[in-house]
Structure 1
Amino acid sequence: MVVIDEFAKDYLLGDLRELREAVVWKLEGLSEADVRRPLTASGTNLLGLVKHLALWESRYLGEVFGRPFSEPLPRWDDVAARGLDMRADESESVEEIVGRYRRVWVHADATVSALAVDARGFVPWWPRPEVMLFNVLVHRVAETARHAGHADILREQLDGATGEGR
């Protein structure tokens, strides 16, 4: 079983790493105004997607397993903060948000490396909160892929770039 467990963990982490890079690539070559430009009725923009992904990956591959990310984060149950992670305010630079996301990657990858694929975690905002690392890795790959798809559409709206072959 250990061979399959390590294969699953490495495979999922490899997919997550590729998706993270794809999301960050969507910001390359764009102006500050463009990465912040809301392109949907809800106000979704590229920089907000990166900020959102950083926050939730730090939670899922950090505090869920008792390994909190070292930088301050809003509490997951803070009703007043809901949705703020999808928008970057003017005080948050592109470099700051992307840098935080990259630091989250290091922390998340360390969590995955340190734990067995069946390590137990607790996701208080899920209906079935007792999880394993495997569940959370699958969730993070799915969610990051979902937002990478959003980023594809937003980037294409801005300048026509699709990221084909990347």
Structure 2
Amino acid sequence: MIDEFAKEYLHDELQSIREALVWKLDGLSEYDIRRPLAATGTNLLGLVKHMATWEARYFGEIFNRPFPEPLPRWQDFDGSDSWVTEDETRGQIIGFYQRAWQHADATIKELPIDAPGHVPWWPRPDVKLFNIMVHVLNDTTRHAGHADILREGLDGRTGVAAWAEQQIDTAAREAHFAQIEQAARGSRRS
């Protein structure tokens, strides 16, 4: 009984954070979702593409359930899953992510939480579905956090979904920022 509860709980959390990651694109221009916003080239649509690629891989080939579309070989990983070419559209990338999570959802639904899998690039490659669910949830949450910071830098919007978004009080944000800046500057006296 606890196995089904754990699986359902992890799966629900994963779906929620997937939706939050995609929501970070809402209302932004094509340029803003694609442009590099960190020294490493990190960008919003690239984060979605990256998660689609790895979710398809982790819930696919790890459990002998290959994703039905071509994926780059993990041995040849060159970072191309982390940015979007001029020819790839927002709709294509979001569609890829949705197909990847549908494939993952089928794996999660059909396999028991202790189903064995094999991740050849991990130091301890023999895993269970539970390990992969936790790993993908952690990775998606991490990248959704990156997306949250990138989005905040673009237009100040934060949150996990449109229903949770609050009106931006610019004056309050500026006062809060100034208070933190003052504390940081004051720390130099120590």
1:94: which partner in 2? 90
Q: CA deviation at 1:82?
A: 1.5
Cα offsets for 1:53-106 (capped at 9, x unmatched): 00000010111000011111110101xx42111111111111000000001111
Note if 1:146 corresponds to 2:123: no
Letter in 1 for 2:130: F
Secondary structure, counterpart of 2:75 in structure 1: coil
**Larger Rg belongs to:** 2
**RMSD in angstroms over aligned alpha carbons?**
0.9
Q: CA deviation at 1:127?
A: 0.3
Q: TM-score, normalised by structure 1?
A: 0.96
1:49-64 residue pairs with structure 2 within 5 A? 49-64=47-62
- Structure 1 stretches of 5 or more lacking a match? none
1:129, 1:63 → 2: CA distance?
A: 13
Note if 1:103 corresponds to 2:104: no
Letter in 2 for 1:125: W
Cα offsets for 1:40-63 (capped at 9, x unmatched): 001100000000000000010111
1:120: which partner in 2? 116
1:63, 1:19 → 2: CA distance?
A: 23
Counterpart of 1:133 (choices 103, 113, 129) is 129
Kindly report structure 1 stretches of 4+ aligned residues shifted beyond 4 Å: none
1:75, 1:40 → 2: CA distance?
A: 26
1:106, 1:146 → 2: CA distance?
A: 21
Note if 1:161 corresponds to 2:157: yes
Aligned length: 162
1:13, 1:147 → 2: CA distance?
A: 17
Q: TM-score, normalised by structure 2?
A: 0.84
2:183: which partner in 1? none
